Amino acid sequence: ILNVEQSPQSLHVQEGDSTNFTCSFPSSNFYALHWYRWETAKSPEALFVMTLNGDEKKKGRISATLNTKEGYSYLYIKGSQPEDSATYLCARNTDKLIFGTGTRLQVFP
Amino acid sequence: NAGVTQTPKFRVLKTGQSMTLLCAQDMNHEYMYWYRQDPGMGLRLIHYSVGEGTTAKGEVPDGYNVSRLKKQNFLLGLESAAPSQTSVYFCASRRTSGSRGNEQFFGPGTRLTVL
């Protein structure tokens, strides 16, 4: 994998469903992996910065895991709410961030 | 703390006109970045700076110039605007990369239309 890739591109879920999406990145020369939440008409806001293989981070109903050896990170949302609707971006960190194109999540009431 | 601010918020240019976008941060961050956001393309890095007086090219630098004369400001210039530069521009800043866990803070964006 040469670039940061995210899947799926978009996701529609019902309120209360749990969901997860994937970020894949080059596993060589790993430094850090960022997750950002980006609501429409706003700026991206940092959710997690992950640096160690096996890292698990949690913020409320949102959590993330990191596997640097195989080059992937998962973002989980438990019991999705309409306010979780946003684009979730991951980015590989060297001296600059290389972003994936994001997963656009829509949660319907 | 205002965080990261961008001026202007909106601008419409004619092809061939020039303009400068200003990014300012009051967090004493060393690193600053300019991105453009286009539908289906995510955030693409135009130029970045690792400190006052230094700049470097990102993924899509052509048609843009930058300057970092003061630590708190990062300017993005378009010398001769083209319709392909119609986009939303985001500035971001970050503390020194001495710590791997430093997040980026983003400004509110500048929506630029080139006719």
The whole-angstrom distance between B59's CA and the closest CA on chain A is 9
Q: State the Cα torsion B33-A90-B87-B82 to the nearest 10°.
A: 70
> Do residue B104 and residue A97 have CB atoms under 8 angstroms apart?
yes
The answer to whether the Cβ–Cβ distance between A93 and B107 falls below 8 Å is: no
**pLDDT lower than 70: segments of chain A:** 1-2
| Cβ-based contacts of B108 with chain A (< 8 Å) | 42-43
B residues 11..30 contacting A (CB < 8 A): none
Q: What is the pLDDT of residues B84-104, one digit of tens each?
A: 999 999 999 998 755 666 889
Q: What is the mean pLDDT of residues B9-15?
A: 96
Q: Which two tokens stand for residue B100?
A: 């791997």
Mean pLDDT calculated for residue range B5-30:
95
The pLDDT value recorded for residue A79 is 97
| Cβ–Cβ pairs < 8 A, chains A and B | 52
* Long-range Cβ contacts of A67-70 (<8 Å, 24+ apart): A68/A27, A68/A30, A68/A33, A69/A27, A70/A27
DSSP assignment of A28-72:
TT--EEEEEEE-TTS--EEEEEE-STT-EEEETTEEEEEETTTTE
B32: closest chain A residue by CA: A96
Distance from CA of A61 to the nearest CA of B (A): 20
Q: How far is B102 from chain A (nearest CA, A)?
A: 7
Token digits for B80?
A: 């001769």
